[in-house]
A = this chain, B = another copy of it.
Amino acid sequence: MPETMRATIFIEPGRIILGEKPVPQPGPGDALIRITTTTICGTDIHILKGEYPVASGLTIGHEPVGVIEKLGSAVTGFTEGQRVIADAITPAGWDNASLSGCGAQCGAGTAHGWKAMGGWRFGNTIDGAQADYLLVPDAMANLAPIPDGLTDDQVLMCPDILSTGFGGAEAGRIRIGDTVAIFAQGPIGLCATAGARLMGAARIIAVESVPQRVAVSRRMGADEVVNFTREDPVAAIDRLTGGRGVDVAIEALGKAETFAWALKVLRPGGTLSSLGVYAQDLTIPLQAFAGGLGDHVIRTTLCPGGKERMRRLMAMVAGGRVDTGALVTHHFPLDRIESAYELFAHQRDGVLKVAIRP
């Protein structure tokens, strides 16, 4: 094992570089992973643009696929050399939030046991995955062996995008026979579409305008795709549902406008499942909200983590239930990650997700 490694480092807003860092040493409960494939997330672009603050010098990235290089002294149940993924959100397992089934809000180090987004550590509060090596904390709760026969690319979406997208469908409590609207068909929205289909939605109406995304949306399970640049999506969904509205609306963009649209197309008693990362206060329109008397539910979801979640998602891939292959549109070596950021940040060349290989 070398002493230093390449790492994708946030310097300041507008500047993420490939630099060099020491290879970290695992503490008793950690595992050191040699990254074989990782990817860039929309959140990383928020970091790049300075819209989401992280410390200067931090290694970015939270979607690791790799091989166990070294296990901490207290870690059992895994072996070095094993192919694994770790979840983007790494609950401690032993904290109050995890023990309540909400490990994404793990406030492991806090007095009160809950902290908003506390489970998101990689590339946020500790060094992340866009590097040669990654230190995984609470390894026993967060390492998930890759089933035989699955490639890195097949499981690359599990740590974040697939878990989040499915989480949006799950938070919508979609039931057999539901009509579902999904706003935006970026990688997370596409996985939400797949999730809605997998949970038994009778009809899925996606809202998207980019032709490539529209095409992938249909492959992932959308029955209709409304182009919001050509028609008012609220009016369109009202028309498509005969004025009934949808049972579940999923927001997968993170804008106040789409949040309001999602509420406006919802039937009384329906659920708005929100996946977006918002950058401003949101407005709840009075009428769409029936003045507070519509028996509506709004539920937000941070990517569910933990090794059991990863095991389940990889079982879905292994069982042929979902194919996220169409989402990986580009491949880059780690050395060219700055170019990958350039491409991804500007959404060029029909990019959905890029696979980065050290």
Interface residues of A (CB under 8 A from B): 28-29, 73-74, 76-77, 91-105, 107, 109, 111-118, 120, 138, 140-141, 166, 169-170, 175-179, 195, 198-200, 202-203, 223, 241-245, 254, 267-269, 274-286, 289-302, 306-309, 311-313, 315-316, 318-319, 321
Known A96-B308, A98-B99, A312-B176: A293·B277 in contact at CB below 8 Å: yes
What residues on B are CB-neighbors of A103 within 8 Å?
A: 99
How far is it, in angstroms, between the C-alpha of A99 and the C-alpha of B94 when the chains are bound?
A: 10
Assess whether A292 is in contact with B268, with CB atoms less than 8 Å apart: no
Q: Are A295's CB and B300's CB within 8 A?
A: yes
- Which residues of the other chain, B, contact A116 by a CB distance below 8 angstroms? 268, 290, 293-294
**Contact (Cβ within 8 A) B279 A286:** yes
Question: Which residues of chain B have C-beta atoms less than 8 A from A245's C-beta?
Answer: 112, 114
Contact B281 A282 (CB under 8 A): no
Q: In the bound complex, what is the Cα–Cα distance between A127 and B4 (angstroms)?
A: 45
How many copies of this kind of chain does the complex include?
A: 4
Q: Is B307's CB under 8 angstroms from A302's CB?
A: no
A174 to chain B, nearest CB (A): 9
User: Which of the residues B74, B280, B296, B318 comes within 8 Å of A286, measured between beta carbons?
Assistant: B280
**What distance in Å separates the Cβ of A39 from its nearest Cβ neighbour in chain B?**
19
Q: Indicate if the CB atoms of A97 and B268 lie closer than 8 Å.
A: yes
Interfacial chain B residues near A286, Cβ < 8 Å:
278-282
Q: Is the CB of A308 within 8 A of B269?
A: no
Of chain B, the residue at the smallest CB distance from A169 is B176
Residue of B whose beta carbon sits closest to that of A166: B176
Known: A74-B74, A141-B94. A269 touches B313 (CB 8 A): no
- The residue from B93, B107, B295 contacting A302, defined by CB atoms under 8 A apart: B295
Cα–Cα, bound, A73→B93 (Å): 18
Q: Can you name the residue of chain B whose Cβ is closest to the Cβ of A202?
A: B315
Given the contacts A274-B292, A294-B300, A93 and B96 also touching, CB distance less than 8 Å: no
* Contact status A316-B91, CB under 8 Å: no
Contact A203 B319 (CB under 8 A): yes
A309 x B115 contact (CB < 8 A): no
Question: Would you list 9 pairs from A and B whose C-beta atoms are within 8 A, ordered by A residue?
Answer: A93-B141, A99-B307, A105-B268, A105-B295, A277-B291, A277-B292, A281-B283, A293-B300, A296-B299
Closest chain B residue, CB of each to CB of A101: B101
Q: Contact check, B296 vs A278: say whether CB atoms are below 8 A apart.
A: no
Please tell me which one of the listed residues B269, B278, B292, B307 contacts residue A278 in the complex, with CB atoms under 8 A apart.
B292
- Bound Cα distance A50, B113 (Å): 41
* A206 shortest CB reach to chain B, Å: 14
Distance of A115 Cα from B244 Cα, bound (Å): 9
Q: Tell me the complex Cα distance, A312–B201, Å.
A: 10
CB distance from A94 to the nearest CB of B (A): 4
A297 adjacent to B295 (CB under 8 Å): no
Q: Which one of B91, B96, B177, B301 contacts A99 once the chains associate, using CB atoms below 8 Å?
A: B91
Give the docked Cα–Cα distance between A266 and B159 (Å).
28
- State which of B101, B200, B298 has its C-beta within 8 Å of the C-beta of A297: B298
